[in-house]
């Protein structure tokens, strides 16, 4: 199981700040795919990044159950 | 010093924090909440951050800037929470021996912050609310 932190528009789409995923999601790419299939509105975003242990992660990175995982929708600070 | 805070930013204190005896210039960028987006009236903004990562990304940006320009002291403070029109969500201050490097470094930091740092803002209008930059 992985636990995914949600911020901004992705938190609004999913409707909660943390999503527990029981399904078999092994990589960052699979997580993005899972999120887009489960929550189709995520496909409409300008971009979707994933952070693993608070670093931007590539699609081929494997996710371990102990990792801190977060979805990063388009940022807009400043 | 890099800081994400829900408190009002004290611009003068941030400027004072980068004073350095070797400095010939302090360059400051102050972001303010604008009252409209594409001529539509904005009532307020709400900022949120993925805090440990935002601090980490800001530290990377400051370190990159330090490699490119001779920076003496750098401060980047970003506020989160609800901000009214005219309030200040971000202050960047840095000291350099000469002014040219200061202007360039300050612009680099704010431009890169807007691209890489996990902070989000929501605009509130009379008829709804929008996460900025989220959708095409």
- In DSSP notation, B11-56 reads HHHHHHTT--TT-SEEEEEEE---SEETTEEP-EEEEEE-HHHHHH
Average pLDDT on A1-17 reads: 97
The answer as to whether A53 is a domain residue is yes
**So what's the pLDDT on residue A59?**
98
Q: What is the pTM of this model?
A: 0.96
Q: Spell B27-52 as b/e; 16+ CB within 10 A means b.
A: bebebebeeeeeeeebeebbbbbbee
Specify the CATH number for the domain of residue B69: 3.90.1170.40
**Which residues of chain A lie closer than 8 angstroms to B113, CB-CB?**
77-78
- In DSSP notation, B67-126 reads HHS--SEEEEEEE-EEEETT--SEEEEEEESSHHHHHHHHHHHHHHHHHHS-EEEEEEET
Give the contacts of A64 (CB within 8 A, at least 6 positions apart): none
**Which residues of chain A lie closer than 8 angstroms to B114, CB-CB?**
75-78
Measured in angstroms, the CA of A14 and the nearest CA of chain B are apart by: 14
**What residues make up the domain containing B104?**
2-127
Measured in angstroms, the CA of B41 and the nearest CA of chain A are apart by: 19
**Which residues of chain B lie closer than 8 angstroms to A54, CB-CB?**
50, 52-53, 56
**Which residues of chain A lie closer than 8 angstroms to B120, CB-CB?**
7-9, 73, 75-77
> Under an 8 A CB cutoff, do B131 and A73 touch?
yes
The answer as to whether B134 is a domain residue is no
The answer as to whether A78 is a domain residue is no
**So what's the pLDDT on residue B116?**
97
The answer as to whether A77 is a domain residue is no
10-residue mean pLDDT profile of chain B (136 residues): values are 97 98 98 93 97 98 98 98 98 98 98 98 96 94
Q: Give the mean pLDDT of chain A.
A: 97
**What residues make up the domain containing A62?**
2-72
**So what's the pLDDT on residue A52?**
98
The answer as to whether B83 is a domain residue is yes
Retrieve residue B24's tokens: 């010939």
Alpha carbon distances (Å) from A49 to A10, A28, B17, B114, B125: 11, 9, 34, 15, 27
The answer as to whether A36 is a domain residue is yes
**So what's the pLDDT on residue B98?**
97
The answer as to whether B133 is a domain residue is no
**So what's the pLDDT on residue A13?**
97
The answer as to whether A14 is a domain residue is yes
Measured in angstroms, the CA of A68 and the nearest CA of chain B are apart by: 11
Compute φ and ψ for B17, nearest 5 degrees.
-70, -15
Residue of A nearest to B92 (CA): A78
Specify the CATH number for the domain of residue A42: 3.10.20.30
Residue of A nearest to B51 (CA): A54
The answer as to whether B135 is a domain residue is no
**So what's the pLDDT on residue B88?**
98
Residue B16 has a CB neighbour count (10 Å cut-off) of 12
Identify any residues that bridge with B119 across adjacent strands, giving them in sequence order: B49
How many domains is chain A partitioned into structurally?
1
> Under an 8 A CB cutoff, do B50 and A9 touch?
no
Residue of A nearest to B110 (CA): A78
Task: Residue B34: name the closest of B106, B111, B88 by CA.
Answer: B88
Question: How far is Cα of residue B104 from the mean position of the Cα atoms in its chain?
Answer: 15
B120 lies within 8 A of chain A by CB = yes
Task: Residue B77: name the closest of B54, B100, B98 by CA.
Answer: B54
How many domains is chain B partitioned into structurally?
1
Q: Which residue has the higher pLDDT, B37 or A28?
A: A28
CA distance B130 to B44: 11
- Provide the ipTM: 0.95
């Amino acid at each position: 199981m992985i636990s995914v932190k949600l911020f901004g528009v992705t938190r609004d789409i999913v409707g909660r700040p943390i999503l527990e995923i029981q399904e078999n999601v092994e990589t960052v790419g699979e997580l993005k795919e899972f999120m887009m299939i489960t929550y189709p509105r995520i496909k409409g975003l300008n971009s979707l990044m994933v952070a693993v242990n608070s670093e931007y992660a590539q699609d081929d990175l494997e996710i371990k159950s102990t990792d801190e995982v977060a979805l990063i929708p388009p940022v807009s600070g400043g | 010093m890099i800081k994400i805070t829900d408190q009002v930013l004290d611009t003068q204190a941030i400027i004072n924090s980068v004073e350095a005896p070797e400095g010939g210039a302090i360059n400051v960028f102050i972001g303010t909440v604008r009252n409209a987006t594409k001529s539509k009236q904005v009532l307020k903004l709400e900022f949120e951050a993925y805090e440990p990562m935002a601090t980490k990304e800001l530290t990377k940006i400051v370190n990159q800037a330090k490699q490119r320009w001779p920076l003496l002291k750098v401060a980047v403070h970003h506020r989160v929470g609800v901000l009214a029109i005219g309030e200040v969500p971000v202050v960047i201050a840095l000291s350099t021996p000469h002014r040219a490097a200061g202007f360039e470094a300050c612009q680099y930091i704010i431009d890169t912050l807007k691209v890489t740092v996990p902070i989000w803002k929501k605009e509130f209008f009379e008829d709804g609310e929008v996460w900025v930059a989220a959708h095409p």
